[in-house]
Amino acid sequence: MTTADVLSPNTGGTTMPVKPPKRRIPGWLKGAIWGLLAVGVLAIASYATGVNTLTSTNTAHTALRLALPILLCALGGLWAERAGVINIGLEGMMILGTWGAAWGAYHGGVWAGLISAVVFGALGGLLHAVATVTFNVNHIVSGVAINLLGLGVAKYLANLVFTPLSGNPRQSPPVPKFDTYSATFLSDWLSDLEKMQRVFISDLAGILNGLITEVAPLTMIAIALVPISYFVLWRTRFGLRLRSCGENPVAAESLGVNVYLHKYVAMIISGGLAGMGGASLVLLAGGADYLENQTNNRGYIGLAAMIFGNWRPGGLLGGAALFGYADGLQLAGGGTAVLALLYGAVILLAVIVAVQLFRRQWIAAALGVVGAGALYAIYWTNDDLPSDLIPYTAHFVTLIVLAVASQRLRPPKADGALYRRGED
Amino acid sequence: MSSWRTRLLPPLLAIVFAVILTAIALIISGADPLQAYGTMIGQLFKGSTAVDTVNLATVYYLSGLAVAIGFQMNLFNIGVEGQYRFAAIVTAIIGGALRLPPVIHVIAILIVAVASGMLYAAIPAVLKVTRGVSEVISTIMLNAIVGGIVAFLVNADQFGVQTGNNIATREIAETGRIPGIPIGSGELFGFVVIAALIGGAYWFMLNRTRFGFELKASGESTTAAAAGGVNAKKMTLIAMLLSGGVAGLVAMPELLSRDFSYGITSTQMYGFTGIAVALLGRNHPAGIALGALLWAFLDRSAVSLEQINVSKEIAVIMQGVIVLSVVIAYEIVRRADLAAEQRRVGRALAGKGSSVSEGGAV
């Protein structure tokens, strides 16, 4: 084809344009580097401490299952906050989603459950939009009210609908779960690799194996939603307009963007994603059926993952993976595994200190050394951590990560701002 | 300003709206709303329910005040939940170990409560001021973590005492307790008086001191306050600590007048209720008191619904609807007032354009 040559005249060797002096690393490569670094740190920690659970197939599998609701909530938060609405009501919408999923799945199978969960979550999102966009209620106030309401409505409906079926107002009858699929050929090879106990390779194999065995369609959908969200929000006209509502609604309005409509659509999508997050608690094999209080603050953790990810799809994927991993690890390995994770954190801090020294950031390096020393002291003096505190590993990780990482964050400019058409 | 209308109408509207909405929900589920409401109100006059309601309202009131202090500074202290439970467990342990003469013991316990509430609030405050971590996220994490801390400290290996099936901290001695006021078949918490005093102090601080003015100013606009010489970071820190200090007292009425010890099974969720109560009362001490009473009434009376086979969760729905509709109602009334004001000004200007001086209403 000749058109290709016409369209790309610069391909001919010597006429390359001058590159900008410092080229930014593309996002996906950055993510891959961070991922490999994380696996490397875990591999060293697992080798040094002898705790294989750090990178076992089981841990990775559990982590993936636990990361899903957080990931979906974080995506929901992304859609809302990119349109300028703070959505702290994710938790309530998620609770509505869990009930919807159980109800739909009980009556019409898993897919009906998924759809009903999305619809219930979206209803919560719609309510949040009515309160915040139309009535200009403070976003956080409305979110808290929706959390209350979501809990109340789900409990009430569960009492009404599930009690005759299961005899227990706090629980639904057993519901069908998604079928799972494994890449059998690949996973056999990977488990062979894992059994060889070679540093790094076996660890990587273990984690990958956990990610490709017994994957449910919902898992695939959830993970696919990350690039889809990126594409829609950053590569389409609709996404640009939606984000402009979150950055500067007055300017968007002056350019003819219907700000109210975009915020409503964003909130409905946000609620639907949170509802899907609820569904991922109910409809995945290994998870419970509808159970009162099963969301256990995951909506909030999702919001934290999104903030950690700097309001970007790739970043929030990393955040969700981190929190899911912390949760999966404590569930699969208990106190010893968490201690080994501390060892990994010490290694990571050592790397960070080296980087900071290289950059001549003396104070940051000193703080890093102190932190690493403290963590190592905890690791050295304890054989096991208090079992009462272990379930909160993910929360501790969230707090520490936010404290360390939240410095170069840039939220959408008009995030949480009250906006009325025609007013400045 | 038609202040009575802007202040009282919205909550009344919200309650009416909530009653109507829950009535619809009740009818759908096949219950008689009138019978349900009648049962709830009737419950109030049975046994010690009225006194229990006031007692519970005292707890909610303190929690609401703690949240309201943060609200004044535009700080969203969701962490009252964590702060009060942390303070409760620490105070129960220290109060149970102390051996002091009667009044001094109580004072020491209260000081410990305030200090430990402040300590737990200091974490999100410092994180926000130095690292810019959203207090909403950090307090939510700390709320969850406090469950682990309570479980850890109450454990028999640490400070817990096993009595039968229940495990809790050592009981606080007679000297550290606050006597109740017997009314009818119930006993009113003596802490009601202290709660009222704190409410008064809150009102005085906000409206009659320079600090309160600066707090409100930096809540309204950080930049404007900074231009007036108010250090927003300092105000954030102080507001959060004050909020945490009051939050530390939330568990004290029950701890010092009813339970005397704190365990895993002890009541929780008071902190979240405080948010709703503060919203309902518009951060005004008297409004918060009314909101707390309403909330406590709904909680205490809902139990009676089980007798007529109505799910008591209907009360939770009612509470959620009230919170959401009360904020919406405030907005609607504010807009209506604004529109009325504009019409009034418009009429005055259009009618007698020549004599603005006579139309003093402008």
Residue B39: per-residue pLDDT: 87
How many other CB atoms are found less than 10 A from the CB of residue A400?
Answer: 14
Q: With bands split at pLDDT 50, 70 and 90, how would you rate the model's confidence at A252?
A: very high
* A423 domain residue, yes or no: no
Q: Do B332 and A145 touch (CB under 8 A)?
A: no
pLDDT band at residue A23, thresholds of 50, 70 and 90?
low
Give the confidence band of A267 by pLDDT, cuts at 50, 70, 90.
very high
DSSP B171: P
Residues A156, B155: C-beta atoms closer than 8 Å = no
Taking the C-alpha atoms of residue B354 and residue B344, their distance in angstroms, rounded to an integer, is: 16
By CB atoms closer than 10 A (0-12, 13-18, 19+), residue B30 is exposed
Cα(A347)–Cα(B89) distance, rounded to whole angstroms?
35
pLDDT at position A10: 43
The span from the CA of A297 to the CA of A274, in Å, is 12
Q: What average pLDDT does the structure give for chain A?
A: 85
- Establish if A424 belongs to a structural domain: no
- Overall average pLDDT of the A88-113 stretch: 93
Residue from B29, B85, B127, B134 whose CB has the most chain A CBs within 10 Å, to mutate:
B134
- Dist CA A343 CA B251 (whole Å): 38
What number is the average pLDDT over the span B120-125?
A: 94
- Give residue A7's pLDDT: 41
Contact call for A135 and B275, based on CB within 8 A? no
Q: Check CB contact of A201 with chain B, cutoff 8 Å.
A: no
3-state secondary structure of B209: coil
Q: Which residues of B touch A409 (CB under 8 A)?
A: 132
* Type and span of the H or E element at B161: strand B161-163
Residue range A235-252: mean pLDDT, rounded: 94
Highest mean pLDDT among A17-21, A127-131, A404-408, B130-134: A127-131
- Tokens in use for B300? 């205490």
Q: For A88, which of B136, B279, B321 is closest by C-beta distance? A: B136
- Could you give the CA distance from residue A396 to residue B53 in angstroms, rounded to a whole number? 37
How far does B105 lie from chain A, in Å, by closest CA? 31
Residue A377 lies in a domain: yes
Q: How far is B192 from chain A (nearest CA, A)?
A: 27
**Could you read off the pLDDT of A300-350 as tens digits, one per residue?**
889 888 988 889 998 899 889 988 898 888 888 777 888 888 888 888 888
Written as one string, the DSSP assignment of B269-288 is -HHHHHHHHHHHTTT-HHHH
Which of B113-117, B186-190, B255-259 has the highest average model confidence (pLDDT)?
Answer: B113-117
The residue ranges of every structural domain in chain B are: 32-309
Residues of A in contact with B316 (CB under 8 A): 148, 151-152, 155-156
| Contact between chains at A155 and B313 (C-beta distance less than 8 A) | yes
CATH, residue A151: 1.10.3470
> Is A5 inside a domain boundary?
no
CA B152 – CA A386 distance, rounded (Å)? 7
Do the Cβ atoms of B316 and A140 come within 8 Å?
no
Minimal Cα distance from A147: which residue of B? B320
Backbone angles phi, psi at A215, to 5 degrees: -95, 130
**Record: contact A160-B328, CB cut-off 8 A:** no
Which residues of A fall within a CB distance of 8 Å from B313? 152, 155-156, 159
Q: What is the pLDDT of residues B200-214, one digit of tens each?
A: 999 999 999 998 988
Instruction: Report CB contact under 8 Å: A135, B316.
Output: no
Nearest by CB to residue A156, choosing from B132, B313, B327, is B313
Closest Cα in chain B, distance from residue A388 (Å): 5
**pTM for the complete prediction?**
0.85
Q: Report whether A203 contacts A55 (CB < 8 A).
A: yes
- Considering only residues 158 to 177 of chain A, which have any Cβ-Cβ distance to chain B shorter than 8 Å? 159-160, 169
User: What string of DSSP letters covers B295-318?
Assistant: HHHHHHHHGGGGGGT--TTHHHHH
pLDDT band (50, 70, 90) for residue B19: confident
- Please, are residues A103 and A276 in contact by the beta-carbon 8 Å criterion? no
A22 assigned to some structural domain: no
Class for the domain spanning B32-309: mainly alpha
If you count them, how many residues does chain B have?
A: 362
CB proximity B338 to A under 8 Å: no
With a pLDDT cut of 90, the percent of chain B lying above it is: 30
- Determine contact: A50 vs chain B, CB below 8 A: no
Calculate how close chain A gets to B213, using CA atoms only, in Å. 22
Is the CB of residue A402 less than 8 Å away from at least one CB of chain B? yes
B130-139 average pLDDT score: 83
Higher pLDDT, B137 or A235: A235
Query: Does the CB of B132 have a partner CB in chain A at under 8 Å?
Result: yes
Yes or no, beta carbons of B127 and A403 under 8 Å apart: yes
* pLDDT on residue A208: 83
pLDDT at A199 over 80: no
Q: Number of CB pairs < 8 Å for A and B?
A: 130
For residue B188, is pLDDT > 60?
yes
CA distance, residue A390 to nearest chain B CA (Å): 8
A300 to chain B, minimum CA–CA distance in Å?
Answer: 7
Q: Give the A window 303-322 contacts with B, CB below 8 Å.
A: 303-304, 307
**pLDDT in the model for residue B215:** 87
Position A112 in a domain: yes
For residue A329 the two structure tokens come to 């690890």
Residues 6+ apart with CB under 8 A from B120: B79, B82, B83, B86, B87, B142, B146, B244
- Name every chain A residue with its beta carbon within 8 A of the beta carbon of B320: 145-146, 148-153
Q: How confident is the model at residue A123 (pLDDT cuts 50, 70, 90)?
A: very high
Distances (CA, A) of B311 to A148, A165, B28, B38, B270: 16, 16, 13, 15, 21
Q: Let me know how long chain A is.
A: 424
Q: Which residues of B touch A152 (CB under 8 A)?
A: 313, 316-320
How much is the pLDDT for B324?
Answer: 82
pLDDT at B109 over 90: yes
Q: Is residue A125 part of a domain?
A: yes
Sequence-ordered list of residues with C-beta below 8 angstroms from that of A411, at least 6 positions apart, any chain: A81, A307, A311
Backbone CA torsion sign across B295, B299, B301, B306: positive
Residue B88, pLDDT score: 94
Is the pLDDT score of B99 beyond 50? yes
d(C-alpha A380, C-alpha A167), whole Å: 49
Position B328 confidence tier, pLDDT thresholds 50, 70, 90:
confident
Establish if B229 touches chain A: CB-CB under 8 angstroms: no
Task: State how far residue A161 is from chain B, nearest Cα, in angstroms.
Answer: 10
Beta-carbon separation of B276 and A389 below 8 A:
no
CB of A146 within 8 Å of any CB in chain B? yes
Is A325 a member of any domain?
A: yes
What is the domain range of residue A389? Answer: 28-42+52-180+215-405
Task: Give pLDDT, residue A14.
Answer: 46
What confidence tens digit (pLDDT) does each residue in B23-49 have?
888 888 778 888 888 888 888 888 788
Q: How many domains does chain A have?
A: 1
Cβ distance B148 to A145 less than 8 Å, yes or no, reads: no
pLDDT score at B2: 52
State residue B204's pLDDT score: 95
- The shortest CB-CB distance from A399 to any of B136, B138, B316 is to B138
CB of B331 within 8 Å of a chain A CB? The answer is: yes
Q: What is the chain B residue with the closest CA to A394? A: B141
User: Mean pLDDT: which of A161-170, A230-239, B343-352 is highest?
Assistant: A230-239
Q: Look at residue A5 and tell me whether its pLDDT is greater than 70.
A: no
Closest to B245 measured CA to CA, from B178, B308, B198, B211 = B198
Q: Which of A144, A160, A409 sits opposite B275 (nearest CB)?
A: A144
Q: Which of A22-31, A62-71, A282-291 has the highest mean pLDDT?
A: A62-71
pLDDT band at A133 (very low <50, low <70, confident <90, very high): very high
- Mean pLDDT of all residues in B111-122: 96
* Sign of the alpha-carbon dihedral angle for A253, A255, A258, A262: negative
- Give A156's contacts in chain B (Cβ within 8 Å): 25, 311, 313-314, 316-317
Of B136, B144, B272, the CB nearest to A140: B136
What are A171's strand-pairing partners?
A291
CA of A133: which chain B residue's CA is closest? B328
Other Cβ atoms within 10 Å of B323 Cβ, number: 26
Cβ distance of A152 and B317 shorter than 8 Å: yes
Contact of A265 with chain B, judged by CB distance below 8 Å, is answered with no
> What pLDDT, on the 0 to 100 scale, is given for residue A307?
84
Chain A, nearest residue to B323 by Cα = A145
DSSP code of residue B176: G
Nearest CA to CA, how far is B226 from chain A (Å)? Answer: 20
By Cβ distance, the residue of A136, A146, A304 closest to B137 is: A304
Q: Is the pLDDT of residue A206 over 90?
A: no
Q: Which range among A234-238, B13-17, B233-237, B356-360 shows the weakest confidence by mean pLDDT?
A: B356-360
pLDDT for position A8: 42
Q: What 3 state SS string does chain A have?
A: CHHHHHHCHHHCHHHCCCCCCCCCCCHHHHHHHHHHHHHHHHHHHHHHHCCHHHHCHHHHHHHHHHHHHHHHHHHHHHHHHHCCCCCCCHHHHHHHHHHHHHHHHHHHHHHHHHHHHHHHHHHHHHHHHHHHHHCCCCHHHHHHHHHHHHHHHHHHHHHHHHHHHHCCCCECCCCCCCCCECCHHHHHHHHHHHHCCCCCHHHHHHHHHHHHCCECHHHHHHHHHHHHHHHHHHHCHHHHHHHHHHHCHHHHHHCCCCHHHHHHHHHHHHHHHHHHHHHHHHCCCCCCCCECCCCCCHHHHHHHHHHHCCCCHHHHHHHHHHHHHHHHHHHHHHHHHHHHHHHHHHHHHHHHHHHHHHCCCHHHHHHHHHHHHHHHHHHHHCCCCCCCCHHHHHHHHHHHHHHHHCCCCCCCCCCCCCCCCCCC
